[in-house]
Amino acid sequence: MGLETTVGDLLPEVITTRLDALVNWGRKSSIWPATFGLACCAIEMMAMTDARNDVARFGAEVFRASPRQADVMIVAGRVSIKMAPVLRRIYDQMPEPKWVISMGVCASAGGVFNNYAIVQGVDKVVPVDVFVPGCPPRPEGLIWAIMKLQEKIEREKVFKEEKVA
């Protein structure tokens, strides 16, 4: 997608590794979340953006109503079996690169909703990068998850690794 396919092929390898750092820095500094509030966790997700917690310090304050403009999907709340295909569809509509944060115990493992209606862990539907414990997690917990995700993005290889023979 985009940069790695065009610039990456043209430049020598020494600069490629530096480009990795540059691109990752750009990506981790503005991870815009897709709004996916499903339950009470969404209230804490909103609280994350307020003046006290101020997730803008980490560049993730711009909640997008369209998945086309989002980088990370914060699954905030219990996912019902009926909602699962919708969740997957929103995820598929997000452009690469994309990440998923599973917020709270319900999204991560079903929580107290160990029943016929709720998906027991959202990782059955979409690949999850960071799980946040808590019921619900405090805004600090979610900011921690975003920081963990930033660490993860820093380590990512943007361009194709050359195979070591």
Among 12, 14, 96, 115, binds another protein (CB under 8 A): 115
The token duo for 161 is 């690794």
Q: Which stretch binds another protein (CB under 8 A): 36-44, 98-106, 111-119, 124-132?
A: 111-119
Which is closer to another protein, CB of 13 or CB of 116? 116
Establish if 112 lies at the interface with another protein (CB under 8 A): no
Establish if 120 lies at the interface with another protein (CB under 8 A): yes
To another protein, the closest distance from the beta carbon of 102 in angstroms equals 19
Confirm if 70 and 33 have CB atoms less than 8 A apart.
yes
Establish if 52 lies at the interface with another protein (CB under 8 A): no
Beta bridge mates, 73: 34, 100
To another protein, the closest distance from the beta carbon of 80 in angstroms equals 9
> DSSP 3-state assignment of 118?
strand
Establish if 116 lies at the interface with another protein (CB under 8 A): yes
**Which amino acid type is present at position 155?**
R
Among 3, 15, 22, 81, binds another protein (CB under 8 A): 81
To another protein, the closest distance from the beta carbon of 116 in angstroms equals 4
Q: Which ranges of 29-159 does DSSP label H, i.e. alpha helix?
A: 41-47, 84-93, 104-109, 139-154
- Cα gap 16→4, rounded to integer Å: 9
What's the first-to-final CA gap in the chain, in angstroms?
Answer: 26
**Cβ within 8 Å of residue 136, ≥6 positions away:** 40, 41, 43, 44, 76, 103, 104
The token duo for 114 is 């160990």
Among 12, 14, 52, 82, binds another protein (CB under 8 A): 82
Among 117, 133, 151, 157, binds another protein (CB under 8 A): 117
List of residues contacting another protein (CB under 8 A): 81-82, 114-117, 120
